[in-house]
């Protein structure tokens, strides 16, 4: 196998090893995928100022996110069905993150349950919450997260309704996969994935099956999830959840200054500028383009994080330069997981940190916490940067 030198190498290998429906689930957006593409493309418009003859000894990428020490200001984003990219995927990703020293965020729609992660790691992890109509289930989920030592709750607000993801519809995406002729033919080309999946009992949504009322198998799960995302979600619900949780609260899915101000008013500890990886509202702006005005409006009162389109350590530097205090990676670590399991997630993190460190050095800095807009070249920056500067 050729050396893995960048995130694209991991993506290519993951595409070869992961069944089509699950690879497409991770590597796709909604509708025309214009926002999905913009998330990546807009990063490339941001150019760096290169500095020379600066003492670059003793560089550090260490920082904090919501008061937690991190090896670099990067967290693994909550991603649904991670355990379908590789058997026991959430456990493997959480272990890799713990060893590396960055936060791992478990999705409500994970394959491995909250308790599985707690049993296989020793460091606290973060839990991402979707708000369902069944408030009793949500209360129990929050209590389970507390019992599992979760140190932050990431409340996602941009999934009141599900975006139309054409590839998932075409593929008939489900967990576990339905044994149709098409799926079976594809699975026959993925022997490594099939063998690993046969070794684990974790093939359904572990946080839901056996915990939500009347959900005990795949058919009842499908009926439950189709009607449970709550379109009536409001800021009153955010207040209710904050009181139930009582710990660090991060609000995800913010793209407008007005909503960012509501996050501040809610007492949240951080917000995540995010368009759900281009998987919800197609035609929305990229996350990186929405970041500067939000930082300018509320960055002095709340910790601003971002996700969406990050494919390198250079992208992390760009986001930090525009004011983010933390950056989340989703697809990059999923590529690593699908390609090489836990080792692939570790390799992803190594690549990101190395690129972050080198880019910081070329810009004349030794400490990741010193990154700011001064390292960006304004004349070549896009219009949305100039407006936010």
Catalytic residue among 120, 166, 276, 305: 276
What are the domain boundaries of the chain? 7-388
107 is in an annotated binding site: yes
79 is in an annotated binding site: yes
Mean pLDDT of the chain: 93
Q: Check residue 30 and give its pLDDT.
A: 95
Q: Check residue 2 and give its pLDDT.
A: 83
Q: Check residue 220 and give its pLDDT.
A: 62
Q: Are 345 and 79 in contact (CB under 8 A)?
A: no
Look at 117-126, 180-189, 216-225 and tell me which has the smallest mean pLDDT. 216-225
Three-state SS sequence of the chain: CCCCCCHHHHHHHHHHHCCHHHHHHHCCCCCCCHHHHHHHHHHHHCCECCCCCCCCCCCECCEEECCEEECCCEEECCCCCHHHCCCCHHHHHHHHHHHHCCCEEECCCCCCCHHHHHHHCCCCCEEEECCECCHHHHHHHHHHHHHCCCCEEEEECCCCCCCCCHHHHHHCCCCCCCCCHHHHHHHCCCHHHHHHHHCCCCCCCCCCCCCCCCCCCHHHHHHHHHHHECCCCCHHHHHHHHHHHCCEEEEEEECCHHHHHHHHHHCCCEEEECCHHHCCCCCCCCHHHHHHHHHHHHCCCCEEEEECCCCCHHHHHHHHHCCCCEEEECHHHHHHHHHHHHHHHHHHHHHHHHHHHHHHHHCCCCEHHHCCHHHECHHHCCHHHHHHC
Section 113-121 average pLDDT: 98
For 94, half-sphere exposure in the C-beta direction (CA atoms, 13 angstrom radius) is 29
Beta bridge partners of 155: 129, 251
Q: Check residue 163 and give its pLDDT.
A: 87
Cβ-in-10-Å burial (0-12, 13-18, 19+) of 160 comes to middle
17 is in an annotated binding site: no
Q: Check residue 135 and give its pLDDT.
A: 92
Q: Are 77 and 99 in contact (CB under 8 A)?
A: no
**Residue 146 predicted with pLDDT over 70:** yes
Q: Check residue 172 and give its pLDDT.
A: 83
Q: Check residue 386 and give its pLDDT.
A: 56
Q: Check residue 212 and give its pLDDT.
A: 85
Residue 276 annotated to the active site: yes
Whole-structure pTM over 0.75, yes or no?
yes
**Residue 222 predicted with pLDDT over 80:** no
Section 286-301 average pLDDT: 98
| Residue 67 or 379, more confident | 67
**Residue 322 predicted with pLDDT over 80:** yes
Section 208-230 average pLDDT: 74
Residue 77's closest CA among 285, 349, 267? 349
311 is in an annotated binding site: yes
Section 180-187 average pLDDT: 91
- Please give the CATH topology (third level) of the domain spanning 7-388: TIM Barrel (3.20.20)
130 is in an annotated binding site: yes
Q: Check residue 310 and give its pLDDT.
A: 98
80 is in an annotated binding site: yes
Tell me the residue length of the chain. 389
| Residue 382 or 337, more confident | 337
**Residue 98 predicted with pLDDT over 80:** yes
88 is in an annotated binding site: no
Q: Are 300 and 47 in contact (CB under 8 A)?
A: no
CA distance 11 to 23: 9
Q: Check residue 223 and give its pLDDT.
A: 65
**Residue 38 predicted with pLDDT over 60:** yes
Per-residue pLDDT tens digits for 246-266? 999 999 999 999 999 999 999
308 is in an annotated binding site: yes
95 is in an annotated binding site: no
Q: Check residue 4 and give its pLDDT.
A: 96
Confidence of residue 174 (pLDDT cuts 50, 70, 90): confident
Confidence of residue 384 (pLDDT cuts 50, 70, 90): low
The CA distances from residue 234 to 78, 316, 327, in Å, are 22, 31, 26
Residue 117's closest CA among 43, 206, 200? 206
Confidence of residue 162 (pLDDT cuts 50, 70, 90): confident
């Amino acid at each position: 196998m050729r050396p893995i030198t960048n995130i694209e190498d991991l993506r290519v290998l993951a595409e070869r090893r992961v069944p089509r429906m699950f690879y497409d689930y991770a590597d796709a957006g909604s509708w025309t995928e214009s926002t999905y593409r913009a998330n990546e493309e807009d990063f490339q418009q941001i150019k760096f100022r290169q500095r020379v003859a600066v003492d670059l000894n003793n560089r550090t990428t260490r920082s904090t996110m919501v008061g937690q020490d991190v090896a670099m200001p990067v967290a693994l984003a909550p991603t649904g069905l991670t355990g379908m990219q590789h058997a026991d995927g959430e456990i493997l990703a959480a272990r890799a993150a713990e060893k590396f020293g960055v936060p791992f965020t478990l999705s409500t729609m994970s394959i491995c349950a909250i308790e599985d992660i707690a049993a296989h790691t020793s460091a606290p992890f973060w839990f991402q919450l979707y708000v369902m109509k069944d408030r009793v289930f949500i209360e129990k989920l929050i209590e389970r997260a507390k019992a599992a030592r979760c140190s932050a709750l990431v409340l996602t607000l941009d999934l009141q309704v599900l975006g139309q993801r054409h590839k998932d519809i075409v593929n008939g995406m489900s967990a576990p996969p339905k044994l149709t002729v098409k799926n079976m033919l594809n699975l026959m080309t993925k022997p490594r994935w099939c063998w690993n999946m046969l070794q684990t009992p974790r093939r359904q949504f572990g946080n839901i099956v056996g915990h939500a009322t009347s959900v005990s198998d795949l058919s009842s799960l499908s009926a439950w999830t189709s009607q449970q995302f709550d379109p009536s979600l409001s800021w009153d619900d955010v207040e209710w959840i904050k009181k139930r949780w009582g710990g660090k609260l991060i609000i995800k899915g913010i793209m407008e200054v007005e909503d960012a101000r509501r996050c501040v008013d809610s007492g949240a500890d951080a917000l995540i500028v995010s368009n759900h990886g281009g998987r919800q509202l197609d035609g929305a702006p990229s996350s990186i383009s929405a970041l500067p005005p939000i930082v300018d409006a509320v960055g002095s009162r709340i910790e601003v994080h971002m996700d969406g389109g990050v494919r390198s350590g250079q992208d992390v530097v760009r986001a930090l330069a525009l004011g983010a205090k933390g950056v989340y990676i989703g697809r990059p670590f999923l590529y690593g997981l699908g390609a090489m399991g836990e080792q692939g997630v570790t390799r992803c993190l190594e690549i990101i940190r190395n690129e972050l460190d080198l880019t910081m050095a070329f810009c004349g800095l030794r400490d990741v916490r010193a990154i700011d807009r001064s390292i960006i070249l304004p004349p070549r920056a896009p219009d949305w940067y100039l407006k936010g500067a």
